[in-house]
Amino acid sequence: MSSQDKLRRRSKASDEKSKSDAETDKEDDADALNEQLSAGSPQASDKTTEAIDSALKDFSPRWRNYIIRTIFTIVMILVFAFIIYLGPLAIVVLIQLIQIKCYHEIISIGYIAYKSHDLPWFRTLSWHFLLASNYYFYGESAISSFSVLLHKAEFLEPLITYHRFISFSLYTCGLVAFVLSLTRKKLYLKQFTLFAWTHITLLILVTQSHFMIQNIFEGLIWFLVPVSLIICNDIMAYVFGFFFGKTPLIKLSPKKTWEGFIGGGFSTILFGWILSAVLVKHKFFVCPITYSDEAGGFTLDCEPGPIFRLTEYTLPKVLHILGMKTVRLYPFVLHSLSLSIFASSIGPFGGFFASGFKRAFKIKDFGDTIPGHGGFMDRFDCQFFAATFVNVYISSFVRGVSPQKLLAQLFSLKPQEQLEVFAVLRDRLVQLGLLQQAAAQPLAGAGG
């Protein structure tokens, strides 16, 4: 064997050893990171009050967890019902508080992972970007839905007129501050990693909660039904899985079973039909929130739209043998079937996604705020996913042109601009033959 061949073999062996050492170092770094996360991240706890702990001390861990989980599920449902009673604005505040808590839980994981590197301004910039994002989305919602009210306050005029410019300026300030924080070359990769982490978290939480609030403005029923369906599916899947579960559903979440998935699905469809049939009869739930000059405040009074009125449907001829040719239903009840199917079949994948995220960092839960459940993100992972679907569903299959929103935009114009719109509309109605020329003459003076 020539000396050159020997040198090549030695060089190849050296390269392979270097690669092996590098892979070992990466694995060691990953293990160290996971240990750091496990040690620093709050883990789910079943610790409750001394009275509950004392009452449950004789139960097995499995049944103890089941009872604690049930108790705090009931508590959360009662609190949620009270917030619903307070009305839409209270729900918006609740959504914002939950969003902030979920954001804190996710950002904290990134902070703990790189805490030892002392990255400059990470937490400050994370909260700045949350503020900028919320300012933009909440401002867009408020201007779109309550422009008449906002224009009544003169001090808000600059904020309305230059809302998007202010939003852009806030974000730009954060971006500039981030660039200025890049002072140590060895930290660049970690800083850009956390920059991306922050923006993905904003995409998941802020945009989804914005859609949820938009759904509320369409009518409380578009918020309450989907949220209740997710809650029902979560509870019933847990119950069916606890008592009957034997067949694993997905590796990401070993405790999830086919029995729980199927049982929860059927329960959710039945629950959705019943809940929708009850809520659709009440204006409090079906009317969108609007500002009324006559009432001097916000109101939930309206003439229910077509999907909230009883409609007669002709049954297929196959069913005529049962003696029924038609059936009267609220169209929204049929829409609720679509919402129920999504909540029970696709909705759980929001939870599976969160499970995969937690397993990637070897943490049990996002937090330990709620005994038996974990953190807020553990409970609301599916809700944010469902909110986007409902918003898309409304815009695709339900929402038409809204006269109320058009009038709200019209009333936000200056008086002269309103007269110009009126004149154009008057001429258009005359042209279409919907308004007689003679009847339009007295109006012509008003329109200029």
Q: For residues 259 and 237, is the Cβ–Cβ distance under 8 A?
A: no
Rounded Cα–Cα distance for residues 379 and 233 (Å): 12
Q: Is the pTM of this model over 0.85?
A: no
Which whole-number Å values give the CA distances from 4 to 10, 18, 294, 369, 372, in the listed order?
A: 10, 21, 96, 66, 67
Torsion (CA) 347, 349, 354, 360 in degrees, nearest 10: 180
Rounded Cα–Cα distance for residues 254 and 364 (Å): 13
Q: Tokens 């660039």, residue?
A: 179
pLDDT of residue 393: 95
Contacts of 420 (CB under 8 A, 6+ apart): 448
pLDDT of residue 130: 96
pLDDT of residue 65: 78
Rounded Cα–Cα distance for residues 98 and 88 (Å): 15
Nearest to 83 by CA among 260, 220, 268: 220
Encoded amino acid at 161, one letter: T
Nearest to 141 by CA among 217, 222, 83: 217
Rounded Cα–Cα distance for residues 105 and 41 (Å): 9
SS (H, E, C) the chain: CCHHHHHHHHHHHHHHHHHHHHHHHHHHHHHHHHHHHHHHCCCCCCCCCHHHHHHCCCCCHHHHHHHHHHHHHHHHHHHHHHHHHHCHHHHHHHHHHHHHHHHHHHHHHHHHHCHHHCCCCHHHHHHHHHHHHHHHHHHHHHHHHCHHHHHHCHHHHHHHHCHHHHHHHHHHHHHHHHHHCCCCHHHHHHHHHHHHHHHHHHHHHHHHHHHHHHHHHCCCHHHHHHHHHHHHHHHHHHHHHHHHCCCEEECCEEEEEHHHHHHHHHHHHHHHHHHHHHHCCCHHHHCCCEEECCCCEEECCCCCCHHHCCEEEECCHHHHHHCCCEEEECHHHHHHHHHHHHHHHCCHHHHHHHHHHHHHCCCCCCCCCECCCECHHHHHHHHHHHHHHHHHHHHHHHCCCCHHHHHHHHHCCCHHHHHHHHHHHHHHHHHCCCCCHHHHHHHHHHHC
Q: Tokens 């007129």, residue?
A: 161
Per-residue tens of pLDDT for the chain, all 448 residues? 555 555 566 655 555 555 554 454 455 455 555 555 555 555 555 566 666 666 677 777 777 878 888 888 899 989 999 999 998 889 999 999 999 999 999 998 888 877 756 787 888 999 999 999 999 998 888 777 666 566 566 777 788 889 999 999 999 999 999 999 998 888 899 899 999 999 999 998 999 999 999 999 889 999 999 999 999 999 999 899 989 988 999 888 888 899 999 999 999 999 999 999 999 999 999 998 876 666 666 777 888 888 999 999 888 877 777 777 888 999 999 999 999 999 999 999 988 888 888 888 888 888 878 887 788 888 888 888 899 999 999 999 987 656 666 776 777 677 888 888 888 888 888 888 877 765 555 655 555 5
Q: Tokens 């199927």, residue?
A: 262
pLDDT in tens, 235-290: 999 899 989 988 999 888 888 899 999 999 999 999 999 999 999 999 999 998 87
Rounded Cα–Cα distance for residues 336 and 280 (Å): 11
Encoded amino acid at 183, one letter: T
Nearest to 234 by CA among 197, 198, 260, 201: 260
